[in-house]
Structure 1
């Protein structure tokens, strides 16, 4: 049966409603769509249906959101109620924790009280035996003691002993006493190890300088042990850790004695050499050794102990060496005062050395040790006084030496005089330390360095603008020349030949030393001219000693009274008178030659003057050999005597050899 359109539409509408919103929308759209509408109207209907569907979906989402919000509010309320329950439980737990800690502390205290006696006896057995070779076990025992004391509350680390209760006090006091005993034994072990590494005899520094000396360090294994012991005692609680200071003092005293023992033999050499004028070991060299040794000891102390303790330790190290330093300087100064002429050069050298080392002394010794005393300044002041006194005293001693009576030994010696050497050394020191010497002379005043009797004669004239040092040096030079002249006169009265050789030796030495050093810088030109003139005179006086050899071969002509030399002097006939004269000449020649040889054996030319010897040898040969050779050849047949060997003792070659031997 055919269904009508309206009925068909009604059935479609019911079906769409049953199919859901989208189906209804589609049905509505379809039913509402006019028959034969265009394509644009269909698109609009489709869009409208989509909007309706979206609106329905949003409504459904809103309902779901509201339901979830309600659930979350319910959960929040439940969490608040749960938090209130947890806070109560937490408060109960905190109280229980405190109770637990109190119980544990009480148990620890009870254990300490119950086991303290056993622990104390156990550690006492270890500590009373001493550390011996096993320091690790010993220090572990002491560490357990410290822990026990901390547990009883009797101490805090690095803190003092505290009384905590009547029952525990006695045990804690015993532990503390035992701990201090152990610390003392560690200090004793430390001291023994330091002493073992620091022999009492020191090290041999004789012949050494600051550049060549080696200061042997403490062996590495021993250093590790010393560091470990020092650090352990320092970390102990009071009063045991107070022994750290005792340990530092012991170390400083032992190393100080070791340092002084090493420097003492060198100091003795310095004093001995100052007495004998030997420049093998001088005060400046000793001071440099002292500074180098001190620097080494300071570094060593800094490596054994904490750096902050180095100054305190070094203050214990240096006193013995400083006392030795002051004593050595005072001994040298006493030598200078006792014999100014021989030691005045040493005074200038030591004074200059002290002044130039003031900064090093301040930096290396005083500042690092924190000392107020200044031994170097005190010595410098003392030597300054000696230098000032030495200027006039040296002139007076030089003058007095010239007129001093000769000893038997001096009367037969032509050696370079000790006073001559002293004057040259003194002038050399003046040239080396011109500024200091000029300052001393300004303190004395122009010309105030001479006494009336020692004031040089008119030869020592002054030039305009001449410095005080040059004036004084000229006075010293002319005083020496005057003393040598006086000495030569005394020698001449006993043996003329010795006097001539003595004067020649000394003047030659003075001339050579002045030209080879800086002495001529402080002397005027007048001094050099005077010295050259006196050297020529002394050389001529020496050649007069050789003159008798030639005089024996010379012939006096009665008719003229003139002396003829050379071949003319040997023209002797064969008569009896002539033969006697030939014998006499040979005899006198041989006698004169022996006398000259004996003279040179006693009064030798200075071995330090090879150039002088070479010149004198050449001139002697030229003066003697030609005449003797001619005379010898004339009479070598021996016709003038029945015993030729008695007179013809040497031929020309033998004579030359014997003459040359005088200058060897």
Structure 2
């Protein structure tokens, strides 16, 4: 019992202790639940409070940002207003500089002032505020005034440095370069140009570029005016019939001065203006001088056309000189070629057409001959024509160029095209790239000689009825031509060729020795003698001739006597006429040899057979073989 009671009391104590712990845990759980509820209630209240704060703080933040933006905008406007007020504030200062002009204010300071005014104007233009319109108008006025005064300053500097004219001969004769603008003035002009040109998309449109051409152009033209007049005056010879000589005209000096002064002017332009403006400004500046050159060349061309046979060489020389000027200037400047070619065109066209016109002039001169010398002397037109060809050799350079542009035979009447172009210069298409100008000139010479001899032959047949005289006349003409070729520079051009004169020489010889046919008739016989006693021709002696004559009947003897008599008369007449003709030495020798070759063998044969017809009395047989040989020999001396 006691043990059981003890056990029950222990169990009760443990149970109580457990219940006590449960109660503690329950108590803590209740407090935790209550605390959780309080926390949840606090979180709910906090969330509600945060939402209220957000509802209040959101609009305040946006407003703050708007205020910040407005503040910045206000600050920007104030800054802009300050900038906009600056030009207006400084306008009076800038206006004072502008009105004082670049000379008093100093060019650099003046240019800087205009630049500041331009910048201010651009800023105001960007702002587009109506309040600035008045100030912008004032700035525009000041800028225009400033630029105008700059132009005047440019003009004043340039005119001060530009004389009315200079004397080109002073620089040419002393081989001195033509003067250029001083470096100080070039620098000032360049500064003005750089500022003014910046306002123009095409700088050449700027007023200072036009001012330069307007000031320097008359200076160039005036400096060259005297030489232009001298070129025209030197074309007028004291004796209009004198043939033009190379260098006799002043055009060479004129163009030498033009080249020198143009190149000096180009140096000025390069020092002042921008690269893209050099060409147009040079063209505009030189235009007046080139216009005067064109007028001068037209006057020279009129003179040349009026005296073509004596002054055609001037056309060739002028063509060469102006072409050289154009080439030299083009190499240095790349400009003026077209202008110079246009100025040269009339003279060059005359030079080209002269080649065919001179051929026609030769025909015309010969056609107008009313008489020819009765002794066979050649007319002056032969020497004149050949002298013209000889003179042309001195101008072979330009003539070769003209020949190439015309093409082989382009100088003949009716030749198509002739290589002409509307620009007065040969086009590339008209050139035979393989053509040799000297070769073409040689062809022209041969054509001229052919025209000369053909025309002379036609005229001589009309005026000279005697064949022998015709032969002398033509042979003399051929020899005169040949002499003039061999004694001149034509020899190197024509000698390597087949002798084109041979056909004319042979024709003349045939005409002259045609009389031999008549004389030879007296030396032929058809008399039949005793064949057994007939001597071999050319080997008979006096005994043979005697036997031949002895075998003739009286009638045949009379015929032989008559033949000797007729031959003697005709031969003496032929010799007398031969000696009366005025022959060139070569012609006399040529004709004498030809007559001897045709008649002496016939006479010797006839004499061998029949000289005993008068038994040595000389009544019928006037010449023996040795005496007639001497006469034949004398024909060539």
TM range (shorter): 0.3 to 0.5
TM (normalized to structure 1)? Answer: 0.45
TM (normalized to structure 2)? Answer: 0.47
